Amino acid sequence: AIDLQILGRFLALALWRKHCVDLPLNLSFCKLLFAENKRWEVTEEEIALVPDLANKVRLLRACNVDDLDLDFTDCTEDCTAEDFTPGADERVDLVEGGADIPVTEGNKEEYIAKLCEWRMFKSIEWQTEQILSGFQEIIPPQVFKELRALISPGELRDLLAGLPAIDLDDWCAHTEYAGG
């Protein structure tokens, strides 16, 4: 827990002192910080930012799930087929009694929504709370509230981690030369 709080303090201190850190942040994570760990309706673009989840969602939508013997649970740890040991994985119910509810073509979209909610919010809720706690030790909640009114989660990511590449044409177009 203390490591995650330290990470939150580190990110807040970098933001406060206007230093870029070599730590590319996921846009959804920055959005979670801005939302103070409250959930929102996940978009397809946000799902695409999590490659394993995006691939699973794409495969589920492309096939008939009636023959897959799925239920409303998810593994707490992803593993490959080679690493899979039947009965050894821990599963979490995506809805109450999820292990007893089969996924069918009729409820496939509900399953996908619950899976996305688990993977993008619930499974990292505690970790996000710890990071946010450390962040708010450096940047007071009122100041953070004002910051959220001024910038977007993407701009927070860019302020903290910098841009992956410099657009020279954009830089030249927005630079004023003076004094020679």
For the segment 99-128, the average pLDDT, to the nearest whole number, is 91
For residue 58, give both structure tokens.
Answer: 């794409």
Whether pLDDT at 166 is above 80? no
Instruction: Find all residues with CB under 8 Å of 135, minimum gap 6, and list them.
Output: 8, 9, 11, 12, 33, 144
CB contact set of 97 (below 8 Å; sequence gap of 6+):
72
Please give the Cα distance from 38 to 66 (Å, whole number): 33
Q: List pLDDT tens digits, range 139-153.
A: 998 998 898 899 998
Q: Please state, rounded to an integer, the average pLDDT across all residues of the chain.
A: 85
Helix (H) or strand (E) holding 92: strand 91-93
**CA separation for the pair 114, 165 (Å, rounded):** 36
Fill in the amino acid letter for 63. Answer: C
pLDDT class of 81 with cuts at 50, 70, 90: very low
pLDDT at 33: 85
Which residue(s) pair with 54 in the sheet?
Answer: none
Which SS3 state, helix, strand or coil, does residue 108 take? Answer: helix
Are the C-beta atoms of 64 and 104 separated by less than 8 Å?
no
Question: Which of the residue ranges 7-11, 45-49, 116-120, 155-159 would you say has the lowest mean pLDDT?
Answer: 45-49
What would the pLDDT profile of 86-104 be if each residue is shown by its tens digit? 555 688 899 999 999 999 9
Mean local confidence (pLDDT), 121-148: 90
Q: What share of the chain is helix, strand, coil (3-state, %, to 5)?
A: 55, 5, 40
